[in-house]
A and B are shown apart, each in its own frame.
Chain A
């Protein structure tokens, strides 16, 4: 079985502060990990995925297989980063099926 855990439902930081949204997963095979973001009143959008190893909007995430984590980080938060963030996992035999974490609401205060 595959599981994704986001321990924080809400994370509140001040503008310019570093941000780390935690994500831990459980999967016996080789997973593919994603971060999706949902801004207010907008659809869910892909933010980044571990295989691309790129930085989007200043966010990065590194897959740590030893700790089974895929934490999302940004060195300096901006107010426009305020949104709901979902970590998701796709197994290597799941045909693109995603398992989502519970989500973390990020609030960046001015």
Chain B
């Protein structure tokens, strides 16, 4: 159980294009979803946290107008990279955690990631 599907797995597009990445929890309700960015040979850096039905909380240094996050349902969150430029090229990973009485009972479950390449 606890499967998270992320789509697409790979995107190559021209500079100036907006790219949408979807993250779905397939067999559980994800009250919270997280978006990470991972540079080559580096660890995951949290970009933002989104709770279903409310605005996302962005980490310091992450432009919310650049990286639009929508978490409209308990099974879907989207990350849109607006007007993407080559410096936005990276590996983006989502994770989801479900409802529970205590945060300690709900670990994060990760998607496969999306490799974004902006030409």
Contact = CB atoms under 8 A, between A and B. Distances in A.
Interface of A: 32, 34, 36, 42-46, 49, 51, 86, 90, 92, 94-103
Find the residue from B43, B49, B111 having the highest chain A CB count within 10 A: B43
28 contacts: A34-B107, A36-B110, A43-B4, A43-B111, A43-B112, A43-B113, A44-B95, A46-B108, A46-B109, A49-B107, A86-B44, A90-B103, A90-B104, A92-B103, A95-B32, A95-B49, A95-B51, A95-B103, A96-B32, A96-B34, A96-B103, A96-B108, A97-B46, A97-B49, A98-B46, A98-B95, A100-B44, A103-B43
A48 to B, nearest CB: 10
Interface of B: 4, 32, 34, 42-44, 46, 49, 51, 93, 95, 97, 103-104, 106-113
For the residues of B in contact with A, the DSSP-based class is strand
